[in-house]
Amino acid sequence: MSKVKISTTLGDITVRLYDETPIHRDNFLKLAAEGYFNGTLFHRVIKDFMIQGGDPDSKGAPAGKSLGTGGPDYTLPAEIMADTLFHKRGALSAARLGDEVNPKKESSGSQFYIVWGKVYKAPELKQLERQMEMQQEQTIFNALAMEHRDEIMNLRRNRDRDGLMALQEKLGNLAIEKSRAMGRPSFTPEQSEAYTTIGGTPFLDGQYTVFGEVEEGLDVVEAIQKVETGAGDRPKTDVVMNVTVIE
């Protein structure tokens, strides 16, 4: 079992790193041992959502400097296990670039966030499951549209609106069939229990790698996510960190 201590200007946070995500665990331990995070900021803080840090460019950054793009010259392959390692309150997760430029969901080499989120009611989780199902169908539809790109472009050139509508309906129905064959997205009993009691950000599950969780200092995470922020969600008073390996 590996643990790190994130010492901040608002208190200490002890985090346990998951053995189930060895690439992210070993990378975080390596950077912490090198002192990579020392003097960096929690540069992006959103109340009732999360606190983000790990950008080396934030070290000593002057007020107003845009932050959030820094890191080592590598990314990490995704280690997403949404059913068992999920975004409950206190989860440590890897930040990453968006799907449009990062379809494999590879993680930033250093930037991370700690989840705060909110406590959900059971009907809200059911609504989220429906949204996840629609997102899954849309993702499949987009892939099918790419496969039929030449046909679509030809129909557009010929201004064949009826042909376009027919193809869209065909691909839409096929996307629904494929999505149902994959199984409808749903939260496990463990996820549902966590999200309706301690809270979190369930809509991020399956999208980002969760690789640890807070064992002590959740009150510090709460304090940080409440600080006053300015442009770019950066705290108006810097929240500085040092990260050390303790186990």
String of DSSP letters for 18-30 = PTTSHHHHHHHHH
Residue with tokens 């999505």: 179
Domain segments of the chain as ranges: 2-119+198-245, 122-182
Residue-wise DSSP of 117-130: -BPPPHHHHHHHHH
SS3 59: coil
**pLDDT of 149:** 95
Q: What is the CATH number of domain 2-119+198-245?
A: 2.40.100.10
- Tell me the angle at which helices 189-197 and 122-147 cross, rounded to the nearest 10 degrees: 120
**pLDDT of 56:** 98
Q: How many CB atoms lie within 10 A of CB 164?
A: 15
Q: Which residues pair with 114 in a beta bridge?
A: 51, 92
**pLDDT of 64:** 86
Contacts (Cβ under 8 Å, ≥6 apart) of 60 = 39
The predicted model scores a pTM of 0.89
Burial of 167 (0-12, 13-18, 19+ CB in 10 A): middle
**pLDDT of 247:** 85
Smallest CA-to-CA distance from 133 within 194, 177, 180 is with 180
**pLDDT of 89:** 98
**pLDDT of 100:** 85
Digitized pLDDT (tens) for each residue of the chain, 247 residues in all: 899 999 999 999 999 999 999 999 999 999 999 999 999 999 999 999 999 999 999 999 999 899 999 999 999 999 999 999 999 999 999 999 998 899 899 999 999 999 999 999 999 999 999 999 998 999 899 999 999 999 999 999 999 999 999 999 999 999 999 999 998 889 999 999 999 999 999 999 999 999 999 999 999 999 999 999 999 999 999 999 999 999 8
